[in-house]
Structure formats: C-alpha cells, structure tokens
Amino acid sequence: MEKKVFENGLRVLYLPIEGSHSASVGIWVAAGSRHESLKEQGISHFIEHMLFKGTTSRSSRAISEEMDMLGGGLNAYTAKEYTRYYAQTLAENAVRALDILCDMIMNPLFEIDELERERGVILDEMAMYEDSGEDVAHEALCAAVWPDASLGRPICGIAETVSSFTSDDLRSYIKTHYTPERMVAVVAGDFDSNGIDALLHRTLGTLPRGSGAVPFDIPRFTPSLALTKKRFEQTSLSLAMPGLPSGDPRRYAMRLLNFIVGGGASSRLFQRLREELGLAYSVYSSYSSSSGTGLFTVSASFSADQQECVLMEINSVLDKLVSGVTEEEFDRARAQIKASNIMGLETVAAQATFAGHNELFQGRQITREEILQSLNALTRSDVNKLASDILGSKKRALSVAGNTKQRSFYTPFLTVS
C-alpha cells in the first residue's frame, strides 16, 4: 500500500491488488454527528443524502445512470465521527467512479425542491427507527449515558432540526467540515494509478485547506435508567457499561471477551437465555469505541412478561464472567476472531474499508499480520482482567423500551453483586 499526502492535506491511500477484476473507491470525511452543535443535529446525515441529489454537471438521475453504465454501485453512510462515500465497480472504471464521488462532494447543487423532498425521506427514515424497539432502546441508552454530549445524540438528528435546515446551512457546514485535511481517499484493486492521481490532483487536491480538527467533547459515562413506554410487539433492553476508547491496546482482548459474552451462538448469553431457557429470541453483546470513550452493551428483545427473568439471567451471566472465562472459551474465541480477520479481508471492498478506517482513527495502517500477532500474544489472564474491569464495573446504564414497569422494578438490576 502507498500513502500520499497532498499539499492541501488530503490523504490518499493506494491499495494495488494485481489481477483483481473489481475496484473499490471511497472518500472518508471526518464529519459525523459528534461534530454537530445542538442546532446542527442531523446535518451530517442530511448532507450525505443531499450529495446524491445532483451536482453542477450531473443530475441525480445522471449520477445513477452513469454508475449503472460503469457496472457499479454507489453508496454512503454517516457515523458518529465520519461520513463515508464509496463505490464498487469494474477495475477499468475506477477513475470514472471516483470522478463521480469527487463531483458530488465538490459541486453539490442543494436545490430547494430536492432539499424538501429529501427532508421528507429523512423524516420518514426517523419514523421507521421509532417503530423498532431495539433502535429506540439503544438511542435512549446513548442519550442517558452521555446526556449533554453530541455523542449521545442520534445520527439522524431530531425532527425540529431536520425540519429547519436550509441550503445555506448545508453549504456552511460543508465549508467548515469538508476540508481536505479532514478527508481520506481510498482506492483498492487493479486500477490505473496515474489516472487516479491526476484526477485527485485536479479535484480534491484543489480544495483550500481548512482549520484542521474540529473539537468535540469527551463525555464521561453517566450511570442511568431510561424507560420508554411504547407499544411494540416485544420489549427491548440495552444494558451498558463503560467500554474502551478507539486505539486502546486492550481492544483485542475486548474482541474475545465480546465473543464469549454474547458475540456468537456458543456465547454464554445466547446459550443460557436462548438455547437453555428460551427467554429471548434475540440476545447478544456488542462494543463500540469512539475517540476518548466507549461502551460495552448487552441487548435483548423478549416478551414483556419475561422482563424479570431476562434481567436476572443477564446479570447472572455477567456476574459469573467477572470471575473469568474458561480455557476452552478463550481458545474458541481466539480461533473465531482470527478466522474472521483472515476471511473478512479477502475482498477488495473489505480491504478498502479497513484501510480507510485505520487511517482515520489510527493515523496508520494496521496489517493483518500485526492483528494476528496481537491475538496470538493474548493470554487468558488478559481477557479475565478485562472481564473484571468491564463486567464488574459499578457504573451501569439500562434502557428499556416497550411495556415498561415502574422505575423501582429496574433499580436492583443496575447493581453489581
């Protein structure tokens, strides 16, 4: 892999994969919901939608038709700390696909009619999430854990702000946040490197450098209880503990711990609540890492009349894991995580995603060999120490959405035995 840094700060990653018939091109922008003010809630996501709605040289329809002619697909998504625009196409069409992405980012029209249409689409998307108990529980959890921080706000924003955005608001946000030193362009496959280089120099390479990093707060974990009483087919919960920030050296131990707790069919949560007791169809654990902070979360959906049993069993599983994992669990988790790293990076698209994420969050490339070495160096005591620190934390937050009970019912389940 080759990395170039243009004069204006744009970072470009070239991942040549000889013999590949496809190419993946993408542009990562360090602008997500965490960078937004209260009045800007949802603007990163709104812009992501609007960049597909036409440029000074291509209509929305033309963008779609041109990508179809290239035999490729175009997509984007907004996260807490970045927005990513990417395309997958035949290798010989990589330059043309990247040209479309650059045009979308540099020359958006933000026409009033399109803005109003897309506003309706986004409000419908937000309403769809409100129909999901799991989504409602998760968003309420984040808001409770980080009550005064942008990290605790939904990526889509709220109806009040989404309904107020104007074209000028979008342009102002882009001017501040879509600057070259905050961008990473990634190209992977068997592509024309000279053509890619020339394209980027005459497009993103001409953008004026901005002021650099846009500061955001690093919130502390707030122990809390959030209850959302609403009619759903099932009741959903999210139970969280403080996790690890991105880049933490214990992140490999975290991957194993998560797999053992609730990351697979052999996990303790799945085996106990789903297979042995049949209390919940969906039960799993997950972890999220952000700059300066993180969460470890257990999630479940179940019949409302099973709430007490589900919460008791989840706490029982977590309490037992504080004492440590077995040698068999450790070996099984490490084998699974090693295999997922090897198989997960076999495609061109996966390698491009991995490279972009590493550059944005680590500032360097982490090789597959480095990951495997780190996993091989792990000991069971490393995972047990992390289990004690994370699962044994006295700081817990619980969010329940659906047919909820009185607050006093849930208080005992926030206490570590």
Q: Are residues 122 and 270 in the same domain?
A: no
Q: Are residues 159 and 276 in the same domain?
A: no
Chain segment 170-220, per-residue pLDDT in tens: 999 999 999 999 999 999 999 999 999 999 999 999 999 998 777 788 899
10 Å Cβ neighbour count for 75?
A: 12
pLDDT of residue 211: 84
Portion of the chain with pLDDT greater than 90, in percent: 97
Q: Are residues 201 and 282 in the same domain?
A: no
pLDDT of residue 234: 95
How many whole angstroms separate alpha carbon 364 and alpha carbon 287? 22
pLDDT of residue 307: 96
The string over 206-216, giving b where at least 16 C-beta atoms fall within 10 Å of a residue's C-beta and e elsewhere, is ebeebeeeeeb
Q: Are residues 378 and 245 in the same domain?
A: yes
Residue 104 lies in a domain: yes
Q: Are residues 263 and 372 in the same domain?
A: yes
Residue 142 lies in a domain: no
Chain segment 225-271, per-residue pLDDT in tens: 999 999 999 999 999 999 999 999 999 999 999 999 999 999 999 99
Q: Are residues 186 and 297 in the same domain?
A: no
Beta strands per DSSP E along 6-120: 11-16, 22-29, 73-78, 83-90
Q: Are residues 279 and 199 in the same domain?
A: no
Instruction: Give me 62's structure tokens.
Output: 């033309």
Residue 263 lies in a domain: yes
How many whole angstroms separate alpha carbon 188 and alpha carbon 186? 7
Residue 89 lies in a domain: yes
Residue 138 lies in a domain: no
Q: Are residues 193 and 284 in the same domain?
A: no
How many whole angstroms separate alpha carbon 353 and alpha carbon 102? 18
In this predicted structure, the answer to whether residue 417 has a pLDDT above a threshold of 70 is no
Residue 214 lies in a domain: no
Residue 219 lies in a domain: no
Q: Are residues 375 and 252 in the same domain?
A: yes
**Sign of the CA dihedral running 139, 140, 141, 144:** positive
Confidence grade of residue 384 (pLDDT, cut at 50, 70, 90)? very high
Q: Are residues 178 and 267 in the same domain?
A: no
Chain segment 280-321, per-residue pLDDT in tens: 989 999 999 999 999 999 999 999 999 999 999 999 999 999
Q: Are residues 278 and 357 in the same domain?
A: yes
Q: Are residues 180 and 284 in the same domain?
A: no
Instruction: Give me 236's structure tokens.
Output: 């959903």
Chain segment 12-59, per-residue pLDDT in tens: 999 999 999 999 999 999 999 999 999 999 999 999 999 999 999 999
CA 165 to centroid of chain Cα atoms: 24
In what helix (H) or strand (E) does residue 297 lie, and over which residues does it extend?
A: strand 293-302
pLDDT of residue 217: 83
Residue 46 domain boundaries: 2-133+147-206
How does the average pLDDT of the chain come out, rounded?
A: 96
How many whole angstroms separate alpha carbon 129 and alpha carbon 158? 12
Q: Which of the 8 DSSP states describes residue 36?
A: -
CATH number assigned to the domain comprising residue 175: 3.30.830.10
Beta strands per DSSP E along 30-132: 73-78, 83-90
Total domains in the chain come to 2
pLDDT of residue 416: 66
Of the candidates 175, 218, 162, the residue with the CA atom closest to the CA atom of residue 45: 162
In what helix (H) or strand (E) does residue 302 lie, and over which residues does it extend?
A: strand 293-302
Cβ neighbours of residue 258 under 8 Å, at least 6 residues apart?
A: 285, 286, 287, 296
pLDDT of residue 214: 75
Residue 139 lies in a domain: no
Chain segment 312-340, per-residue pLDDT in tens: 999 999 999 999 999 999 999 999 999 99
Chain segment 88-119, per-residue pLDDT in tens: 999 999 999 999 999 999 999 999 999 999 99
Q: Which residues are catalytic?
A: 48
How many whole angstroms separate alpha carbon 12 and alpha carbon 237? 41
